Amino acid sequence: MLRALWIAPVVLLAETGAIYLLPASVLPYALPGAHVLLLPFLLLNLRFIGVRLILAGLMLNLLAMAANGGLMPVEMSVVEAVGKHDNRELVIGDHIDGSKNVLLAREDVRLRALTDVILLPIPQPFTRAISVGDVAIAVGIAVIGASLARPLLRKSR
């Protein structure tokens, strides 16, 4: 069984609150800090393969964020493809409201392959851009879910 599981939803709630409630000038510190707060939960549960995947994804995201000033960079072409913001109101270098992202010109993005460059092939308005770290985190969560469900499925037989 996962230990200290309560940490994950608390940190997710804190991160979401930070995105919507804190000023943009604080986010480059608050969001990576929220990621770091997950470490006790992850380190206590390293025996789970899914947790290792989540930790790897988290580290990839932190690396991309740290290399780009503390927020996850996104390019205008990605913002346009996602279609959630009026591009005329966006300014290169600014935080994108309601997100963990900062808009950067392609040539200014460091470690581009680790940033939000993967567009999910789902229709508007659900289109999202994610990173390779996000993929690792999602797979890790799925692996944990499957491993936790397995004993329940055995009991139901």
pTM above 0.75, yes or no: yes
CB 134 within 8 A of CB 65: no
12-36 in b/e burial notation, b at 16+ Cβ within 10 A? eeebeebbeeeeeeebbebbbbbbe
* Backbone angles phi and psi of 7, in degrees to 5: -60, -40
- The C-alpha atoms of residue 157 and residue 155 are separated, in whole angstroms, by 6
**Per-residue model confidence as pLDDT tens for the chain (157 residues):** 899 999 999 999 999 999 999 999 999 999 999 999 999 999 999 999 999 999 999 999 999 999 999 999 999 999 998 888 888 889 999 999 999 999 999 999 999 999 999 999 888 888 899 999 999 999 999 999 999 888 877 777 6
- The C-alpha atoms of residue 52 and residue 32 are separated, in whole angstroms, by 19
Tell me the β-bridge partners of 130.
118
